[in-house]
Amino acid sequence: MYDSDGEALMVEMEEPTSYKEAASYAEWTEAMNKEIQSIEKNKTWKLCQLPVGHKPIGLKWVYKLKKNSDGEVTKHKARLVAKGYVQKKG
């Protein structure tokens, strides 16, 4: 399937571009769970009833591999971010 072991390793260490892709890996699932726990612990947001006639602001998962100076993966980092660009004044 791959020309060399090195090429296979590079494909394996890429950052996912979607939740569906990330959810199939235990490392990324753990990173997402840690992010949700952090949000709850810090009381960054709370679930509430949406006012009639309003649409919710969308969310997106952003994934990043943290590497040491040798290029080895040291941490899988997942962040849940609001799509704030859809907000309108008032």
pTM over cut 0.85? no
**According to the 3-state scheme, what is the secondary structure of the chain?**
CCCCHHHHHHHHCCCCCCHHHHCCCHHHHHHHHHHHHHHHHCCCCCCCCCCCCCCCCCEEEEEEEEECCCCCEEEEEEEEEECHHHCCCC
pLDDT tens-digit readout, 61-87: 999 999 999 988 899 999 999 887 666
pLDDT tens-digit readout, 19-63: 999 999 999 999 999 999 999 999 988 778 999 998 888 899 999
